[in-house]
Amino acid sequence: MADFLTAYSIQNWLESCPQGYLMGTVYGHRPEDEEPAPLLENEVLREEAIRTTVQLVVGERCALAASSGLINAAPDEASKRFLATQTLDEARHVEIFTQRLLDLGVPKKDLESTIQHFANPNLVKFAEVLLEKVDKKDFVAGVVGQNIVLEGMAFSVFEMLHAVSEPTNPKFARMLSGTIADERRHVGFGENRIGSLIKQYPERKADVEKLQKEMSYWMLATFADAFRNNPARAEFKRIEGELSRAGVHAEWQGVDLLTKDPEEMEQILADTVLKEFKTRLSRIGIEYQTPDRP
Amino acid sequence: MTDPLQQESTTAKDLELESRPRQRFELEDTGFDEVPPRFRKFYRRWRGPGDQLAPNEVICPVCKVVIRSTRELRPGDRVYCMPCMSRLIVVRGEDGRLEARVAY
Ligand SMILES: [Fe+2]
Ligand SMILES: [Fe+2]
Ligand SMILES: [Zn+2]
């Protein structure tokens, strides 16, 4: 165990991240890239981009609170140091997505009220369930909740957003690919560290399974609001159709997202994330609990 | 040691396979920038379900990056995924293709 943790060092983080894929970026993107004009000029799309970005800020603020809180709950030095690098990653994610809100035209003075206004209540619940464990210094539940459930979800959400943004918004796509690269380390730590801890503390399984079920429910409810109940779905469909006819494709999980209805996209995302939870949890010896469907 | 293939399998069930020399592969940089430059050719992004893997490639089940070795991979091999820092063991999956399992 101690052996694998040596790779999660600050030195390693410096070489691969700030001195690697983030080199030369400004708020996570190339200095010359901007939000595309067709997005800034279309009020419905701009508001939708703000709404989506607010959810990213909410999720990343939760990850920042969780990763920093878990440092003092970690039972070993190497985990503490890894979580310190993760804390900086999460703070960076909060910062770049907050900067995107400004780039999308949110006035600085309205930043907090905009976040409050658009924050999805189900996502807020999702975060509360996790942070309660962190506050209790429950390391096992905290790492499963953060590095497997929260980040497992974030990983797929970012990938899906990246697939749609790659052909339409290179600035946002670059921000996302840097974030995905960070997430790889976080999910790697979660699985590797908890895989050995669960073996050590099998009595913690039931609690962790309950946590996963609860967080998954709030996640599905958040997805439902983002797709099915989205006020901009008609405009989305129109733009998707336009892009599709112009020969633009957004491949993810073997489907072209631009040809799909919001309901279908929600289904693909939810299925992908839940399937991932199931395989990730079973690898570390935890039985996946099917959440209720909102 | 820079190749992700860290230890070749030597288990008895692979003896027949092992009697045939492993294919060698020339690796090129694939634009994967998530690891320091000297390691970049050993990884590439996975393009989703339709993405065909070569005999020297295996997907990391943890972070979904394709790991590439200069040598053909075989069941029992130990490989390392640098982007997520997982240690993996190559196995033959139900569909006959090579898969990686995490070694905790
Ligand atoms: Fe994050
Ligand atoms: Fe993260
Ligand atoms: Zn990996």
Q: Which residues of B touch A251 (CB under 8 A)?
A: 47-48
Say which of B36, B63, B65 has its CB closest to residue A16: B36
How far apart, in whole angstroms, are the C-alpha atoms of residue A237 and residue A159?
20
Say which ligand is closest to the CA of B87: 3
CA distance A195 to chain B (A): 6
Torsion sign (Cα): A148, A122, A114, A267: positive
Closest Cα in chain A, distance from residue B22 (Å): 28
CATH superfamily of domain region A2-283: Ribonucleotide Reductase, subunit A (1.10.620.20)
Q: Could you tell me the residue range of the domain that residue B19 belongs to?
A: 14-102
Q: SS3 sequence, chain B?
A: CCCCEEECCCCHHHHHHHCCCCCECCCCCCCCCCCCHHHHHHEEECCCCCCCCCCCEEECCCCCEEEECCECCCCCCEEEECCCCEEEEEEECCCCCEEEEECC
> What string of pLDDT tens digits covers the 294 residues of chain A?
445 667 778 888 998 899 999 999 999 999 999 999 999 999 999 999 999 999 999 999 999 999 999 999 999 998 999 999 999 999 999 999 999 999 999 999 999 999 999 999 999 999 999 999 999 999 999 999 999 999 999 999 999 999 999 999 999 999 999 999 999 999 999 888 888 888 888 899 999 999 999 999 999 999 999 988 888 888 888 888 888 888 999 999 989 998 898 889 999 999 999 999 999 999 888 999 999 988
Largest CA distance in chain A: 56
Residue B16 to chain A, least CA–CA distance (Å): 30
* Ligand 1 mean position, distance from CA A90 (Å): 4
Residue B5 falls within a domain, yes or no? Answer: no
Quick one: DSSP state of residue A29? B
Residues A289, A209 contacting (CB under 8 angstroms) = yes
pLDDT tens-place string over residues A269-287: 999 999 999 999 998 889 9
Inter-chain CB proximity B34 and A20 less than 8 Å: yes
What is residue A2's predicted lDDT score, i.e. its pLDDT?
Answer: 44
Residue A129 DSSP symbol: H
CB-CB neighbors (< 8 A) of A284 in chain B? 104
Which residue in the set B63, B87, B104 is minimally distant from A184, CB to CB? B63
Domain boundaries, chain A: 2-283
Contact A252 B48 (CB under 8 A): yes
3-class secondary structure, A252: strand
User: Is the separation of the CB atoms in A51 and A120 below 8 Å?
Assistant: no
The residue assigned the tokens 């970049």 is B40
CA distance A216 to A150: 9
**Tally of domains in chain B:** 1
| Max CA distance (Å), chain B | 38
Q: Do A21 and B34 touch (CB under 8 A)?
A: yes
Pick from B35, B49, B81: CB nearest A16: B35
| Å between A30 CA and nearest CA of chain B | 14
Mean pLDDT of chain A: 92
Would residue B25 count as lying in a domain? yes
User: Cβ A184–B102 below 8 Å, yes or no?
Assistant: no
The string of pLDDT tens digits covering residues A146-202 is 999 999 999 999 999 999 999 999 999 999 999 999 999 999 998 888 888 888 888
What angle, rounded to 10 degrees, do the helices at A262-283 and A170-200 form?
A: 30
Q: Looking at CA atoms only, how far is residue A106 from chain B in angstroms?
A: 32
Q: Alpha-carbon distance A137 to B19, whole Å?
A: 53
Q: How many CB atoms sit inside 10 A of residue B22's CB?
A: 18
Model confidence at B7, pLDDT cuts 50, 70, 90, reads confident
Question: What residues of B are in contact with residue A4 (Cβ under 8 Å)?
Answer: 85, 87
Which of A195, A252, A254 faces B104 most closely, judged by CB atoms? A195
Closest CA to B73 of B86, B85, B60: B60
Flag whether B9 is in a domain: no
The pLDDT value given to residue A1: 41
Among chain B, residues having any CB pair with chain A shorter than 8 Å are: 33-36, 47-50, 61-63, 65, 81-87, 101-102, 104
